[in-house]
């Protein structure tokens, strides 16, 4: 079934898309989302560069504080993905469903406001939390001062993610990308002024960096909102209209979809945090090598993350139209693009590990030999890990486009926590593999999630082609 769709760029939305047209549409929507994801990583990297110049103590405190902040950040990310999926299906049914789109965006913003209050209360206890998990008192106190400034940026960054999802669902991914790039420039300037006290500003050190991130987050939310309210294609949705009007059925529907997505993201994030702790038990050289390999893997992973957000939209639009051939095509194109990109980076990791290691360590002197050797091994394993990580990310994205989130959450729990982590711990501590064992465990965990997600997608695909589409 196809429908004629009435807005700019809609000529490639119909169910009669060829594979090439779908690939083109996915890339057109995907590349700004990829750049937005990379830009968010760059924002954190610029903070680290400035804090690193304050001193090792400040860097360690910032690392502890940032870990707490990112744990809460996942809530906004999951809510944004759920908003994308719901909006895409609504717009697939009708490009003119202005009221329906507004209801979803409004309730997503309501969830941001409701949810951020308990998150603020928890983050205010940062020092007590860090002391409870055995951190040094001076580090815990400094990290808490950092978090007490940083935490107020949580609401604006969540609002930005909801607004970004609204733009993405309308296949207008450029504005959030441009706003994020501008925010990086602002963040660098504010770090320079507030961390070191240039131009008569107070030298606030670590808290200055937190304040820079807070101001940049507010800038991102307000600038994107201002753009949406002025752009003639976007302002017709009047997203702030009747803002105070409750819509409990829509809020429940959104929360029911967002909850499993947030838990899935938390499962994935926590397994990597535990891997860092286990690596710390093995040795300092292994921990340093792990940070190099994981930094590279995290950077390349931003490409599947951006493509996955595009896949939610493309699959959701086709599902909303009831076009199951379009759903299947969008899903397989997204997964295929992810495999192609991650295979290229895997090849780089496997064939040029020493070149990558030297980027981080500089000249390999005698005291760096052990770290370099471990890092080369970890990067080799990360090569395999790259491909399965891309597949699991994109397969979960295409399932979210069908509002299928609960089974993928259970798959993530089993793959990461029942298979991957125990295998890694056993290989590292019993199997005598040390740090390499942890990485093999991560690869096995991600591989098993990728296989189970693909099986789930294939099942949904076949079922969808044989029977009329049902939501959920």
Reported as a single tens digit per residue, the pLDDT across 157-181 is 999 999 999 998 888 889 999 999 9
Residue 415: DSSP 8-state: I
Q: What is the DSSP string of 23-43?
A: HHHHHHHHHHHHHHHHHHHHH
CA angle at 388 for the pair 305 and 277, rounded to the nearest 5°: 80
Residues 201 and 75: their CA atoms lie apart, in Å, by 34
pLDDT digits (tens, 9 = 90+) for 220-257: 999 999 999 999 888 888 888 788 888 899 999 999 99
pLDDT digits (tens, 9 = 90+) for 361-409: 777 777 778 888 888 899 999 888 889 999 999 999 999 999 999 999 9
To the nearest whole percent, how much of the chain has pLDDT over 70?
93
For residue 183, pLDDT over 90 is answered with yes
To the nearest whole percent, how much of the chain has pLDDT over 90?
47
Residue 133, class by beta-carbon neighbours within 10 Å (0-12 exposed, 13-18 middle, 19+ buried)? exposed
283 φ/ψ sector (left φ>0, alpha ψ -120 to 50, else beta): left
Residue 68: DSSP 8-state: H
Alpha helices (H) in 353-434, listed in sequence order: 353-361, 369-401, 406-412, 421-429
Q: Could you tell me which of 330, 312, 310 has the C-alpha nearest to residue 86? A: 312
How many other CB atoms are found less than 10 A from the CB of residue 419?
18
Q: Output 295 or 337, whichever has higher pLDDT.
A: 337
Extract the tokens encoding 70.
């990112």
Mean pLDDT, the chain, integer: 86
Place of tokens 């719901």: 86
Residues 401 and 258: their CA atoms lie apart, in Å, by 12
Q: Is the dihedral of CA 246, 249, 250, 251 positive or negative?
A: positive
In the chain, where are the structural domains located?
31-246, 259-472
Element housing 78 (H / E): helix 56-93
Q: What is the mean pLDDT of residues 448-460?
A: 92
pTM of the model: 0.86
Extract the tokens encoding 30.
């995907």
Q: Residue 418 in 3-state DSSP?
A: helix
Quote the distance between the C-alpha of residue 151 and its chain's center.
Answer: 18
């Amino acid at each position: 079934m196809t429908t004629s769709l009435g807005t700019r760029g809609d000529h490639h939305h119909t169910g009669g898309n060829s594979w090439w047209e779908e690939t083109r549409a996915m890339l057109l929507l995907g590349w700004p989302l990829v750049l937005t994801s990379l830009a968010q990583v760059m924002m954190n990297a610029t903070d680290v560069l400035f804090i690193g110049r304050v001193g090792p103590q400040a860097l360690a405190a910032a690392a502890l504080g940032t870990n707490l902040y990112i744990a809460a950040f996942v809530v906004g990310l999951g809510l944004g993905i759920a908003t994308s999926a719901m909006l895409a299906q609504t717009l697939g049914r009708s490009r003119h469903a202005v009221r329906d789109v507004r209801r979803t965006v409004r309730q997503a913003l309501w969830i941001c406001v409701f949810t951020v209050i308990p998150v603020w209360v928890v983050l205010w206890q940062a020092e007590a939390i860090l002391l409870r998990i055995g951190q040094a008192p001076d580090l815990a106190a400094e990290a808490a001062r950092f978090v007490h400034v940083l935490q107020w940026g949580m609401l604006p960054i969540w609002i930005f993610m909801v607004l970004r999802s609204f733009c993405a669902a309308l296949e207008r991914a450029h504005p959030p990308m441009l706003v994020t790039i501008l925010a990086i420039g602002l963040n660098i300037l504010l770090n320079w002024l507030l961390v070191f006290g240039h131009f008569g500003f107070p030298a606030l050190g670590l808290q200055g960096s937190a304040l820079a991130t807070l101001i940049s987050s507010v800038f991102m939310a307000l600038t994107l909102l201002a753009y949406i309210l002025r752009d003639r294609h976007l302002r017709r949705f009047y997203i702030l209209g009747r803002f105070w009007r409750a819509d409990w059925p829509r809020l429940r529907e959104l929360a029911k979809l967002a909850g499993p997505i947030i838990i899935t993201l938390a499962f994935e994030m926590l397994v990597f945090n535990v891997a860092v702790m286990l690596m710390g038990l093995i040795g300092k050289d292994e921990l340093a090598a792990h940070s190099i390999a994981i930094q590279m893997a995290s950077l390349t992973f931003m490409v599947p993350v951006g493509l996955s957000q595009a896949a939610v939209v493309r699959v959701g639009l086709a599902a909303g139209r009831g076009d199951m051939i379009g759903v299947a095509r969008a899903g397989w194109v997204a997964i295929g693009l992810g495999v192609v990109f991650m295979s290229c980076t895997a090849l780089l990791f496997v064939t040029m590990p020493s070149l990558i290691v030297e980027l981080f360590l500089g000249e390999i002197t005698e005291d760096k030999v052990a770290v370099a050797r471990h890092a080369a091994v970890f990067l080799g394993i990360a090569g395999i890990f790259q491909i399965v990580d891309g597949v699991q990310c994109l397969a979960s994205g295409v399932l979210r486009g069908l509002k299928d989130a609960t089974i993928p959450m259970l798959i993530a729990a089993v793959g990461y926590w029942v298979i991957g982590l125990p295998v890694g711990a056993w290989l590292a501590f019993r199997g005598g593999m040390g740090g390499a064992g942890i990485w093999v465990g991560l690869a096995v965990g991600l591989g098993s999630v990728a296989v189970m997600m693909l099986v789930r997608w294939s099942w949904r695909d076949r079922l969808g082609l044989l029977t009329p589409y049902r939501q959920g």
